[in-house]
Amino acid sequence: MLDTLKIERRKIQQTQQHTQPNGLRLFNFREKYNLPRYKAHNAMQDVISTAELFLAQVDYMGNKESVKLRQLI
């Protein structure tokens, strides 16, 4: 299982950035990666939102062919 929140938390810790208490939310992460905003609390849209976020996170890590699974878990 891969968790987009854990991926983002690890990235924040590695860069020693400060986050707002309410900053660790799906819509905030999507905004950070310039992804479109969807209506919240709709199961299908939440799944699509999370999948798009994951793809953006992997893309941000650099060469997609060199990203290792251990970087994501």
Residue 63 region by backbone torsions, left for phi larger than 0, else alpha for psi between -120 and 50, else beta: beta
- Residue 73: inside a domain, yes or no? no
- Per-residue pLDDT tens over the stretch 27-41: 899 999 999 988 878
Rounded to whole angstroms, what are the CA distances from 42 to 2, 8, 17, 47, 48?
21, 22, 30, 9, 10
| Residue 73 scores a pLDDT above 90 | no
Instruction: Supply the range of the domain harboring residue 14.
Output: 4-62
- Per-residue pLDDT tens over the stretch 42-71: 899 999 999 999 999 988 887 767 777 777
- Residue 36: inside a domain, yes or no? yes
Domains in the chain, number: 1
Sign of torsion, CA 7 13 17 20?
positive
Sign of torsion, CA 65 66 70 71?
negative
- Residue 28: inside a domain, yes or no? yes
- Residue 27: inside a domain, yes or no? yes
